[in-house]
Chain A
Amino acid sequence: MLKINGLQASIGDKQILKGLNLAVKAGEVHAIMGPNGSGKSTLANVLAGREDYEVTSGTISYQGEDLLPLAPEERAWKGLFLAFQYPVEIPGVSNLNFLRTALNEKRIANGQPEMGGKDFLALVRERAKLVEMEPDLMNRNLNVGFSGGEKKRNEIFQMAMLEPRLGILDETDSGLDIDALRIVAGGVNKLRSKDNAFIVVTHYQRLLDYIVPDVVHVMADGKILKSGPKELALELEEKGYDWVKEHA
């Protein structure tokens, strides 16, 4: 589904990704761990098409297609979804109106008819249950006045609505208490299937107790230093990141 080769990216004059390789197949969940500043969030944002980052070298192939020339919205239409580390508050834009616009633009781009209001609301009700979203939050302005946990739930709710092929979770666990973490992880688990894949970027092993990955990668200094089965996360938790750096 996703193949990254020798990816280098920078912001301004600062190079952050320094030759990163990663391959993700349909049906897999990959965890990317690493210390602050290792480039995890940069990778997530580059995949989503954030224009602040400049890709200077390397390739990204997504479902057999070159991802890099595509605009963020085109990537979304092709099934890519980034759950933000810091979801943005947008006053004056209603949560549901925005989501309906996003969903229908995606449907049109994929040659499907627009979804009518009734079907849309039925889908909203069904998917909101996945993350136990309060109906009240749906009609509010996008993320405005949401608590940290509500924002993260809203991210997973949007992901559930848009049904991505490749979901990227950028530190979705940060700022969540244990109950919220369980709800958010539960939502992701219900979305897992043999046809889609997830990349879970996290600083802590804790989230991986709930979203069990197939592969764990450890990033440092803009590269993946080590990859292994889920047990790698536990080992990392125990021995710290320095252990990986020393053994890389």
Chain B
Amino acid sequence: MATATMTDPKEGVLPLIEGSTWPGAAEALALVQTLPVPTSKTEAWKYTRVAKLFNFAYTAPSGDAPVELPPRLPFPATRVVFVNGHFRRDLSDELKADKGVVIDSITHHLAHGPLQANYGRIAPIGDRLFTAMNAAGPTDGLIILAVKGAQTTKPVHVLRITTGNGGPMLIQPRDLIMLHEGAKVELIDEHVAIGNAASSLVNSVRECVVGDGAELTLHMAQNEPDGPADIGLDAVEVAAGGHFSVDTTTLHGTLVRNELFVSLAGAGAHAELNGTYLLNGTAHADNHTCISHDVADCTSDELYKGIVAGKATGVFNGRVYVRQDAQRTRAYQRNANVLAGDDARVYSKPELEIYADDVKCSHGCTIGRMDEQALFYLRSRGVGEAEARRLMAHAFVTEVVERIANAEWRTHLTGLIDTKLETL
């Protein structure tokens, strides 16, 4: 009779997170020990296999690795640098430029009241192993605190660098963004891998509180060839009249999972979610969004578009949840995909759960090939096939980019996208 030795797949992770003194770390650790690793039978992880992430004996990330910073964005921004998850004041800009806006390492604020009121509240662990792992032993993170009416005069550019070639690291960024009444903050979150970091795991959690009438704009760019596995959760709570908008652009990804949970918690709150994924090679990007209309008179608008080529995989799961008393909800969602290769895969799943009766909700999802009629039309006028495909691809994703309000970011992103399209 054969016997099997049961080993916990989390053995490569546990030693790194034990003993953390962050708030709630001990309780989170207990959950890490009990929560199972998601498998393809776990509905929320059906198309994104994570078992392989637990095959590595991770090491603690080193924050003092020497790095050469990539060029600055082509427009003014306050740059905040994290290396392997650790805040690097020496590489960051002056962070006190905007009155009433605190930008700092979250570790300096763990004992403060405003943090304790929200930390772990916006992104509760529930049954999420990765959230538990993060809470059990965060590496470091960003805090942005904007007092009533305060504004960032230029976007905060968070540059998260993962260095490669040093063995697998477990990096767990933990951010908290808090906007009080009427505050306005714009954040660019860019992940950059230097060297081959494909065996590392970045498991991030960011909690965002958008106060009454406040406005949070988040731009996420994931452009990492040979980057680490990138599992991220953004949990956002939007109060009355508040506005949250996010654009997520994934151009490379060893294994990318973007979870976005938005709770519209006050009347008149609005969320706008935009996503683009352009994947080839063996890239895997999974956008898992959930917008919860918790009260009446909120609006949400979501558009994700992707082109998936090579042996890449794109996953979109968009849940819209409308509570019973969330009357007069307006929620729009659309996901469109172009499959640009015989081995490329796209899984798209809209989920609308509506318990209120006076709502306007719509969703649409398409997966198709590039329009051959249109390609022939362009080619018959003398546009070469490669260029015609690029024009069509550009046109396809432009719809998403055009929804981004910041023209400088839009232009920059268009450049990144066009460069990527050259390779698809």
Q: Are B399 and A92 in contact (CB-based, < 8 A)? A: yes
B154 interface contact, C-beta 8 A: no
Q: Are B374 and A72 in contact (CB-based, < 8 A)? A: no
Q: Bits for B377-388, please: 1 = Cβ < 8 Å to A, else 0.
A: 111111111011
Residues of A within 8 A of B372 (CB): 52
Q: Which residue of B lies closest to A93 (CB)?
A: B395
In the bound complex, what is the Cα–Cα distance between A90 and B373 (angstroms)?
Answer: 10
Q: Are B382 and A73 in contact (CB-based, < 8 A)? A: yes
A88-B373, A92-B395 given; A48·B380 CB < 8 A = yes
Which residue from B371, B373, B384, B392 sits with its C-beta under 8 Å from A73?
B384
In the bound complex, what is the Cα–Cα distance between A75 and B374 (angstroms)?
Answer: 17
Residues of A within 8 A of B89 (CB): none
Residues of B within 8 A of A120 (CB): none
Which residue from A71, A77, A93, A106 sits with its C-beta under 8 Å from B392?
A93
Q: Are B380 and A105 in contact (CB-based, < 8 A)? A: no
Residues of B within 8 A of A37 (CB): none
Which residue from B373, B379, B387, B391 sits with its C-beta under 8 Å from A76?
B379
Q: Are B382 and A162 in contact (CB-based, < 8 A)? A: yes
Q: Are B396 and A92 in contact (CB-based, < 8 A)? A: yes
A103 interface contact, C-beta 8 A: yes
Q: Which residue of A lies closest to B379 (CB)?
A: A72
Q: Are A88 and B374 in contact (CB-based, < 8 A)? A: yes
A101 interface contact, C-beta 8 A: yes
Q: Are A162 and B381 in contact (CB-based, < 8 A)? A: yes
By CB atoms of chain A within 10 A, which of B374, B385, B392, B399 has the most? B374
Chain B proximity of A102: nearest CB distance (Å): 4
B376 interface contact, C-beta 8 A: yes
Q: Are A51 and B376 in contact (CB-based, < 8 A)? A: yes
In the bound complex, what is the Cα–Cα distance between A77 and B378 (angstroms)?
Answer: 12
Q: Are A105 and B374 in contact (CB-based, < 8 A)? A: no
Q: Are A71 and B379 in contact (CB-based, < 8 A)? A: yes
In the bound complex, what is the Cα–Cα distance between A50 and B373 (angstroms)?
Answer: 9
Residues of A within 8 A of B62 (CB): none
Chain A proximity of B325: nearest CB distance (Å): 38
A213 interface contact, C-beta 8 A: no
A92-B396, A93-B392 given; A98·B383 CB < 8 A = yes
A210 interface contact, C-beta 8 A: no
Q: Are B377 and A88 in contact (CB-based, < 8 A)? A: yes
In the bound complex, what is the Cα–Cα distance between A72 and B383 (angstroms)?
Answer: 9
In the bound complex, what is the Cα–Cα distance between A51 and B381 (angstroms)?
Answer: 15
A92-B394, A92-B398, A93-B392 given; A84·B377 CB < 8 A = yes
Q: Bits for A110-127, please: 1 = Cβ < 8 Å to B, else 0.
A: 000000000000000000
Which residue from A48, A84, A101 sits with its C-beta under 8 Å from B391?
A101
Residues of A within 8 A of B383 (CB): 73, 98, 101-102, 105
Q: Are B394 and A90 in contact (CB-based, < 8 A)? A: no
Q: Are A76 and B376 in contact (CB-based, < 8 A)? A: no
Q: Are B391 and A73 in contact (CB-based, < 8 A)? A: no
A88-B373, A92-B395, A93-B391 given; A98·B378 CB < 8 A = yes
Residues of B within 8 A of A158 (CB): 381
Q: Are A102 and B381 in contact (CB-based, < 8 A)? A: yes
Which residues between 27 and 77 of chain A lie within 8 Å of chain B, taking CB atoms?
48-52, 71-73, 75-77
Q: Are A73 and B379 in contact (CB-based, < 8 A)? A: yes
In the bound complex, what is the Cα–Cα distance between A36 and B256 (angstroms)?
Answer: 53
Chain A proximity of B218: nearest CB distance (Å): 25
Residues of B within 8 A of A51 (CB): 376
Chain B proximity of A73: nearest CB distance (Å): 5
A90-B392, A92-B394, A93-B395 given; A77·B377 CB < 8 A = no
Chain A proximity of B381: nearest CB distance (Å): 4
A101-B387, A103-B382, A105-B387 given; A72·B395 CB < 8 A = no
Chain B proximity of A88: nearest CB distance (Å): 4
Residues of A within 8 A of B392 (CB): 90, 93
In the bound complex, what is the Cα–Cα distance between A160 and B170 (angstroms)?
Answer: 62
Residues of A within 8 A of B384 (CB): 73, 105
Chain B proximity of A101: nearest CB distance (Å): 5
Residues of A within 8 A of B379 (CB): 49, 71-73, 76
A92-B394, A93-B391 given; A98·B374 CB < 8 A = no
A-B contact pairs, 16 of them (CB 8 A): A71-B385, A72-B379, A72-B380, A73-B379, A73-B385, A84-B377, A90-B378, A91-B399, A92-B399, A93-B392, A93-B394, A93-B395, A102-B383, A105-B384, A106-B382, A162-B382
Residues of A within 8 A of B (CB): 48-52, 71-73, 75-77, 81-82, 84, 87-88, 90-93, 98-99, 101-103, 105-106, 109, 141, 158, 162
Residues of B within 8 A of A (CB): 371-374, 376-385, 387-388, 391-392, 394-396, 398-399
Taking A73-B379, A98-B383 as known contacts, 13 extra A-B pairs with beta carbons closer than 8 A to each other, sorted by chain A number, are: A48-B380, A73-B380, A73-B384, A75-B380, A76-B380, A82-B380, A88-B371, A90-B371, A92-B395, A93-B378, A101-B387, A102-B381, A105-B387
> Which are the 5 A-B pairs with shortest beta-carbon distances?
A92-B395, A76-B382, A72-B379, A88-B377, A102-B381
